[in-house]
């Protein structure tokens, strides 16, 4: 028998995170990117230097115009800032309609057609400016175009800043389930420009709080209190916001660094999401947004945790019920459908449903559940306490 040599692939992906209220910094990074020349020479990055050039010290201009993918609402509210940072002669701009409906095959095709409508090479930067929908859509486009364009993110919602822009998950939705088409593809740089949050509606602030609370349950219980303070405009401060973003980046980056493709502990980041994704799908991504669904999903997951004998209080979540103002009445009689949708979750193995539970605040665990009646009880409890 002839033994052939193994194919060993070293994952050299590196994402830089910049917490600055200066959008020009991202354009400086994009101009210093050359995918072809840096593919075999990972750069040593000085964390104190906000502008990184090519590995040999010289800035390499990208090929042609950069592709700018921007949420249409963000562009409307921040057009002057965006156009000042990204010169019109240096970028081609595609505006994405706001809403979960844009995470579709049809919209992905439109982005691809737009990208190919002008000069495009493998070192053409693709810059995503928007929330989770725009970031996921643009990220999947970047992963697909020319087998990978250098990707840069400017998250503009709290949810994107503390979660979706970190970790390299990209994708679009399908009738089979949420995020069932996509790729792991890390951005080169993520710029957290908190000035974008000045126009963020309160409902979107609350949705981002869900992911902060998630980190509180799986990693740092102090974030449960911080999240509650950030949810209230009266107690929201720039210092608290910066602390929460930095802490969230550190938690998620630490998890992703040891499990980039969700083979183990990265699954902890799905706490509340298996329940939440089912609720989003049942709603057809119309009335309940992602953060709200995750909020309900965490309450359900904590119920299952308690039923299995763990100490997992949902008091921190229920104290914020008035902030979320969820209308779950249309779904209270559809628990069977919700459980069926949970069986479609892409994280499942065999016939069981994989859930992230907590044995205590800050201590997550992944458990396979086959007891359908337990899941139905969890949904009924959630509806009871939230309606």
Give the span between the Cα atoms of 252 and 41, in whole angstroms.
Answer: 26
The answer to whether the Cα torsion of 346, 347, 353, 358 is positive or negative is negative
Per-position b or e across 83-93, b if 16+ CB within 10 A of its CB: eebbeeebbbb
Q: What three-state secondary structure class fits 352? A: strand
Catalytic residue among 29, 169, 178, 214: 169
The active-site residue out of 95, 100, 204, 262 is 262
Report the alpha-carbon distance of residue 194 to residue 2 in Å, rounded.
58
Q: Is 239 an active-site residue?
A: no
**Catalytic residue list contains 270:** yes
Which residue among the candidates 3, 80, 147, 239 is catalytic per the annotation?
A: 147
H or E stretch covering 364: strand 363-369
290 is catalytic: yes
Query: Which residue in 290, 292, 354, 361 is the catalytic one?
Result: 290
Using the structure block, give the residue that is written with the tokens 């980190």. Answer: 215
For tokens 């002669």, name the residue. Answer: 89
Percentage helix, strand, coil for the chain under 3-state DSSP, each rounded to 5: 50, 15, 35
Known catalytic residue at 266: yes
Q: Which of 277, 289, 292, 354 is catalytic?
A: 277
Report residue 119 CA to chain centroid gap: 29
Buried b / exposed e across 239-274, counting CB within 10 Å, b at 16+? eebeebbebbbebbeebbeeebebeeebbbbbbbbb
In which element (H, E) is residue 16 found?
Answer: strand 16-19
What SS3 state is found at 385?
Answer: helix
Catalytic residue among 123, 173, 270, 289: 270
Please give the structure tokens belonging to residue 331.
Answer: 């779904």
Q: Is residue 279 a contact partner of residue 289, using CB atoms and an 8 Å limit?
A: no
Kind plus residue range of the DSSP H or E element containing 28: helix 24-31
Within 8 A by CB and 6+ apart from 259, the residues are 265, 266
The question of whether 273 is a catalytic residue gets the answer yes
End-to-end CA distance of the chain: 66
**Active-site choice (95, 100, 204, 211):** 211
Active-site choice (29, 78, 273, 354): 273
Of 97, 277, 283, nearest in space to 179 by CA: 277
- Count of Cβ atoms closer than 10 Å to residue 15 Cβ: 20
Instruction: Show which residues are catalytic.
Output: 147, 169, 211, 252, 262, 266, 270, 273, 277, 290
């Amino acid at each position: 028998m002839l033994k052939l040599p193994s194919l060993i692939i070293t994952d050299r992906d590196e994402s830089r995170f910049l917490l600055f209220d200066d959008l020009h910094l991202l354009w400086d990074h994009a101009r210093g990117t050359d995918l072809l020349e840096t593919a075999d020479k990972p750069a040593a990055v000085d964390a104190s230097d906000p502008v990184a050039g090519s590995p040999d010290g010289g800035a390499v201009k990208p090929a042609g115009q950069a592709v700018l993918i921007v949420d249409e609402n963000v562009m409307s509210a921040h057009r002057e800032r965006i156009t000042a940072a990204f010169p019109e002669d240096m970028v081609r701009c595609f505006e994405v309609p706001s809403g979960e409906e844009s995470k579709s095959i049809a919209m992905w095709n439109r982005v691809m057609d737009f990208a190919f409508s002008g000069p495009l090479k493998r070192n053409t930067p693709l810059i995503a400016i928007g929330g989770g929908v725009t970031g996921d859509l643009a990220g999947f486009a970047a992963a697909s175009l020319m087998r990978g364009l250098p990707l840069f993110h400017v998250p503009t919602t709290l949810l994107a800043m503390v979660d979706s822009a970190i970790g390299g998950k990209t994708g679009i939705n399908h009738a089979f389930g949420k995020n069932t088409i996509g790729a792991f593809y890390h951005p080169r740089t993520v710029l957290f420009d908190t000035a974008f949050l000045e126009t963020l509606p309160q409902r979107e602030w609350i949705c981002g709080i869900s992911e902060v609370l998630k980190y509180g349950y799986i990693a740092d219980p102090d974030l449960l209190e911080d999240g509650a303070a950030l949810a209230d405009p009266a107690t929201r401060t720039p210092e608290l916001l910066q602390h929460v973003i930095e802490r969230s980046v550190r938690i998620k980056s630490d998890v992703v660094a040891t499990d980039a493709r969700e083979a183990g502990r990265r699954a902890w980041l799905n706490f509340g999401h298996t329940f939440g994704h089912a609720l989003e799908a049942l709603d057809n991504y119309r009335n309940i947004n992602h953060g709200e669904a995750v909020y309900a999903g965490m309450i359900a997951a904590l119920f299952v945790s308690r039923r299995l004998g763990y100490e997992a209080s949902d008091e921190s979540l229920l104290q914020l019920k008035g902030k979320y103002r969820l209308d779950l009445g249309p779904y209270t009689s559809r628990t069977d459908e919700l459980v069926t949708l949970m069986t479609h979750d892409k994280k499942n193995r065999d016939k069981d449903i994989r859930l992230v539970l907590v044995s205590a605040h800050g201590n997550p665990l992944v458990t396979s559940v086959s007891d359908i009646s337990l899941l139905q009880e969890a949904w009924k409890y959630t509806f009871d306490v939230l309606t």
